[in-house]
């Protein structure tokens, strides 16, 4: 057991958690004494069965269960991702699960924090106990109302898988629906929920990691906005707003215009809804900053107007209320997403081998390959000649399945070059298998690198890809030195004046070999060349 600042790690962890627990108890105790415990919990008890938002609790437990019990989160290799994306309407399992599945632990945590912040507010507005105690049937039954809340969550998630363009995965669309609903029905509470997200994240990180010891290291970092499914978030927000507006009309309520506008704007910016971007290929993206900023202001205005009383005022030229016009725009926006998304989800995707020679590993209906600068078959599936002909080049570990109508990059070339190894989990709700990926390579002096990519599904390593040879940017005894991938490992090729002097396999650590008058040796990961008493490092091995 290691020490931190001279303190045993276990003692420091337990002590840190004890300090946090005491601080929380003191805060609750002080507030209860000043405000009164009965008054502090009066609101939840008035609206919730036993004062607990059971619908939110059921949703959180169900989504977490999908991640850990169905996707295999927490298992070696992490969760299955490809099998749970909404690739196509021809793949019902993906449509059913995609909105409730997640990419990794951080993805799940982020969405559950958002759910804990916004879902109880939405459920509080909906209420287990209705305003009118005389309501009969399911409308007055608190258990039925909890069921309606959960059913609405499931419906919004599944509908999003059908209409949202792209192979989405994650609960964020539903989280945005919670927020959209509360923005128009409880705007002030929504702003508090946005702030509460930071508090919940702080508590989560404090409990899971009471202290963190970190050091500088090389990492692969993708732009944060490039991981955002803006179209899915926009869908959820619009659906939530429309449901909230419907409830306002039914209950004959009208919120404060500026409060709704402020809540909508703060939420949109805090959740990066302004991140309008596109792929340029191979981990390169373009972010339309000004267009995105303009979009959130316009969207916040439309949402605020939609929440107004329909009889307030008419728009100039058109004899229609501003609220009805704004609601119509939101409906049109939702239909616009569907017009794009449904055709995308119906077009067949070429799920065949991604490499020219068809090399790869077959895992049931999946094909796993490594390729560089190939066209993304999923993005290019929906093509309108002369109008929409998308072409995006991708590089990395590619997973395809004709049966699932899927084509996607599991690990980009840049990420694999940084991490050197990774595990890809394949399967679906009924089976699971993992494939180990490894990248070895030589970084050559004054030049780029040459490398090989391997895969292992448990029966031995298989080569997936070998890069082009690389020549060092130096001359030794007027000779060029090239490193190239070979069947067994890597080879050294020495040439002078266009004539080959010799070819030898690169020696292992501590080994030596000679080509012509140049002696090559390995000192750990360094490859050294010696000639007439001069020694230079010409390459370094990375694995």
DSSP letters for 67-90: IIIIS-TTSTT----GGGS---TT
Instruction: Please report, to the nearest 10 degrees, the dihedral formed by the alpha carbons of residues 4, 6, 11, 15 taken in order.
Output: -80
Looking at residue 7, its pLDDT comes to 73
Looking at residue 111, its pLDDT comes to 95
Mean pLDDT, to the nearest integer, of 173-177? 96
Mean pLDDT, to the nearest integer, of 410-426? 92
15-24, 149-158, 298-307: which is most confident = 149-158
Looking at residue 428, its pLDDT comes to 95
110-114, 290-294, 354-358: which is most confident = 110-114
Element (H, E) at 297: helix 289-306
Band of pLDDT at residue 161, cut at 50, 70 and 90: very high
pLDDT tens by residue, 4-20: 666 777 777 888 888 88
Say whether pLDDT at 220 is over 60: no
Q: For residue 157, give Cα distances in angstroms to 83, 116, 153.
A: 17, 17, 6
Looking at residue 318, its pLDDT comes to 47
Q: Which residue has the tokens 């490992």?
A: 489
CA–CA dist 266, 95 (Å, integer): 31
Closest CA to 433 of 388, 501, 341, 366: 366
Question: Bigger pLDDT: 177 or 543?
Answer: 177
Q: What is the CATH number of domain 470-542?
A: 2.40.128
Looking at residue 183, its pLDDT comes to 97
pLDDT tens by residue, 442-474: 999 877 899 999 999 988 999 999 999 999 988
Looking at residue 432, its pLDDT comes to 96
CA–CA dist 395, 355 (Å, integer): 11
Say whether pLDDT at 339 is over 50: yes
Q: Which range among 118-122, 137-141, 253-257, 335-339 shows the weakest confidence by mean pLDDT?
A: 137-141
CA–CA dist 15, 351 (Å, integer): 54
pLDDT tens by residue, 259-290: 999 999 999 998 888 877 776 766 677 878 88
Looking at residue 46, its pLDDT comes to 81
Cβ-Cβ contacts under 8 Å for 36 (sequence gap 6 or more): none
The packing angle between helices 105-126 and 172-185, to 10°, is 30
Cβ-Cβ contacts under 8 Å for 196 (sequence gap 6 or more): 117
Band of pLDDT at residue 317, cut at 50, 70 and 90: very low
Say whether pLDDT at 401 is over 60: yes
User: What's the predicted TM-score (pTM) here?
Assistant: 0.85
Say whether pLDDT at 313 is over 70: no
- Summary mean pLDDT of the chain: 87
Looking at residue 43, its pLDDT comes to 67
Band of pLDDT at residue 324, cut at 50, 70 and 90: confident
Looking at residue 356, its pLDDT comes to 47
Band of pLDDT at residue 222, cut at 50, 70 and 90: low
Say whether pLDDT at 93 is over 50: yes
Looking at residue 41, its pLDDT comes to 61
- For the chain, residues classed under CATH 2.40.128 are 470-542
Looking at residue 135, its pLDDT comes to 73
Looking at residue 389, its pLDDT comes to 64
Spatial strand order of the sheet with 480-485 comes to 470-471, 480-485, 490-496, 499-505
Contact 117, 193 (CB under 8 A): yes
Question: Bigger pLDDT: 398 or 278?
Answer: 398
Mean pLDDT, to the nearest integer, of 229-248? 92
Contact 169, 96 (CB under 8 A): no
Say whether pLDDT at 33 is over 90: no
């Amino acid at each position: 057991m290691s020490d931190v600042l001279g303190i045993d790690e276990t003692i420091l962890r337990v002590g840190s958690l004890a300090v946090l627990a005491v601080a929380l108890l003191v805060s609750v105790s002080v507030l209860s004494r000043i405000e009164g415990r009965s008054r502090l919990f009066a609101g939840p008890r008035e609206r919730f069965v036993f004062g607990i938002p059971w619908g939110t609790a059921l949703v959180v437990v169900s989504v977490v269960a999908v991640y850990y019990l169905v996707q295999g989160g927490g298992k070696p290799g992490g969760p299955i991702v490809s099998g749970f994306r909404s690739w196509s309407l021809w793949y019902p399992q993906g449509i059913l699960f995609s909105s409730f599945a997640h990419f990794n632990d951080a993805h799940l945590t982020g969405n559950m924090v958002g759910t804990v912040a916004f879902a109880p507010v939405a459920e509080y507005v909906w209420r287990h106990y209705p305003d009118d105690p005389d309501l009969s049937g399911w409308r007055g039954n608190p258990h039925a109302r909890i069921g309606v809340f959960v059913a609405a969550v499931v419906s919004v998630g599944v509908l999003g898988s059908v209409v949202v363009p792209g192979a989405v995965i994650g609960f964020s669309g539903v989280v945005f629906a919670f927020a959209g609903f509360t923005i128009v029905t409880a705007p002030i509470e929504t702003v508090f929920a946005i702030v509460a997200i930071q508090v919940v994240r702080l508590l989560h990180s404090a409990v899971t990691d009471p202290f963190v010891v970190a050091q500088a290291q090389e990492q692969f970092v993708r732009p944060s906005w490039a991981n955002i499914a803006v179209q899915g978030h926009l869908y959820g927000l619009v659906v939530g707003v429309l449901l909230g507006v419907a409830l306002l009309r039914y209950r004959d309520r009208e919120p404060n215009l500026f409060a709704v506008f402020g809540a909508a704007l703060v939420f949109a910016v805090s959740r990066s809804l302004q991140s309008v971007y596109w792929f340029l290929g191979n981990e390169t993206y373009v972010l339309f900053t000004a267009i995105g900023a303009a979009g959130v202001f316009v969207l916040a205005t439309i949402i605020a107007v939609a929440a107004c009383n329909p009889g307030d005022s008419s728009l100039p030229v058109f004899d229609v209320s501003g609220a009805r016009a704004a609601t119509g725009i939101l409906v049109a926006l939702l239909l616009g997403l569907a017009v794009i998304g449904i055709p995308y989800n119906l077009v067949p995707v070429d799920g065949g081998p991604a490499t020219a020679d068809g090399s790869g590993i077959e895992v049931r209906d999946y094909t796993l390959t490594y390729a560089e600068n190939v066209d993304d078959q999923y993005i290019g599936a929906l093509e309108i000649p002369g109008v929409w002909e998308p072409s995006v080049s991708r590089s990395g570990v590619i997973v395809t399945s004709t049966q699932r109508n899927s084509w996607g990059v599991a690990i980009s070339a840049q990420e694999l070059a940084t991490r050197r190894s990774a595990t890809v989990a394949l399967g679906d709700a009924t089976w699971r298998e993992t494939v180990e990926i490894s990248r070895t390579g030589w970084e050559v002096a004054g030049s780029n690198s040459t490398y090989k990519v391997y895969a292992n599904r448990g029966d031995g390593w298989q080569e997936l890809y070998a890069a082009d040879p690389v020549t060092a940017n130096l001359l030794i005894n007027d000779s060029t030195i090239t490193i190239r991938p070979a069947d067994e490992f890597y080879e050294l090729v020495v040439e002078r004046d266009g004539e080959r002097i010799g070819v030898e396999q690169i020696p292992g650590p501590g080994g030596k070999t000679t080509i012509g008058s140049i002696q090559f040796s390995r000192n750990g990961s360094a490859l050294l060349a010696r000639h007439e008493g001069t020694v230079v490092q010409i390459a370094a091995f990375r694995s």
